[in-house]
Structure 1
């Protein structure tokens, strides 16, 4: 069985923090591949992404083209309506029956797990890899037992980068160089993304 971890998210834009989390999970959990799946319409985000789905997917492709264990997927962008993880997992399992899937999530999402759509069914299908980030408290003991049993917590080097900060910097005319991979930086500048 090929072990795949996948990261969902808006990736608006993808940055070095995402890549570092993916590599940390790959190494710590012995994953064969990590897939990046930009969300179409994420249910737990108050505001939708600023860049459209194909633009965000293109940034993912540019960010990971050097890493043979990373792959970008458009499975959520092709689907209409809200992007629920359970639907993504079922699609992936149908398309790739030879894979065993884990979901890589940030520590902020670990605490949200009980709120996820059809979480009982989802937890029966996949494992969760929680990536501990600086300044965010993990409340693993507060999670239901069935989630604690399906959750691994890993550490990653601390890096204080967020997509929100990158978008704000661009809107203010400040540099984002070295916060995102060079090919993503060039793509953002060339396309005038996130400018005020």
Structure 2
């Protein structure tokens, strides 16, 4: 059975923290691949208009290009609307019945699992894999989450957007190609 990690998010923009989590999960769980799955509209986040769906996909493609075991899963983008993980995983499991999916989440998401749409059914479809994040307890869940030891990095897309808008340094926070693309396209206040 193929073993596939799914790392969902807005990726607005994608950054080095996403790469680290995906890479750590890939190696720790001996996965065949990890798919970065950008959502159309996240149910738990305010929708932002500073990068288009096309921009987010372009940045992800640039970021994962050097790593053949990373892919992009566009199912939520193609479906459109609010992205509920349960609906997505039902569709993926039907489409790929010979795959065991590992859904990769950070500590902030672990702390809120009980609020996820149809969570009791979702845990039957996927194995949750978690990473500690600074500021989250990562242990308050009533659901089974396999924790992976990895470097804890207090990095978020919010911080990246703030740095871009205020002219702060992004050295080692974004792959150089992604930063160059952001500046070329005038995203996040750089225009």
| Comparing 167-176 and 131-140, the one that deviates more | 131-140
TM-score normalised according to structure 1 size: 0.91
1:21 & 1:32 partners in 2: Cα distance? 15
Aligned counterpart, 2:187: 193
* Superposition deviation, residue 124 in structure 1: 0.7
3-state SS of 1:155 partner: coil
Q: Which runs of 5+ in 1 are unaligned?
A: none
* Superposition deviation, residue 170 in structure 1: 0.9
Contact 1:6 1:36 in 2 (8 A): yes
* Superposition deviation, residue 195 in structure 1: 1.0
Aligned counterpart, 2:170: 176
Q: 1:155 aligns with which of 134, 149, 157?
A: 149
Contact 2:107 2:136 in 1 (8 A): yes
Contact 2:41 2:47 in 1 (8 A): no
Q: Which runs of 5+ in 2 are unaligned?
A: none
3-state SS of 1:78 partner: helix
Aligned counterpart, 2:119: 119
- Provide Cα deviations, 1:129-160, integer angstroms capped at 9, x if missing partner: 011123321234xx33xx22xx2011211223
2:36 & 2:49 partners in 1: Cα distance? 16
- Equivalences, count: 190
| Comparing 92-101 and 6-15, the one that deviates more | 92-101
Aligned counterpart, 2:48: 48
TM-score normalised according to structure 2 size: 0.93
2:98 & 2:138 partners in 1: Cα distance? 32
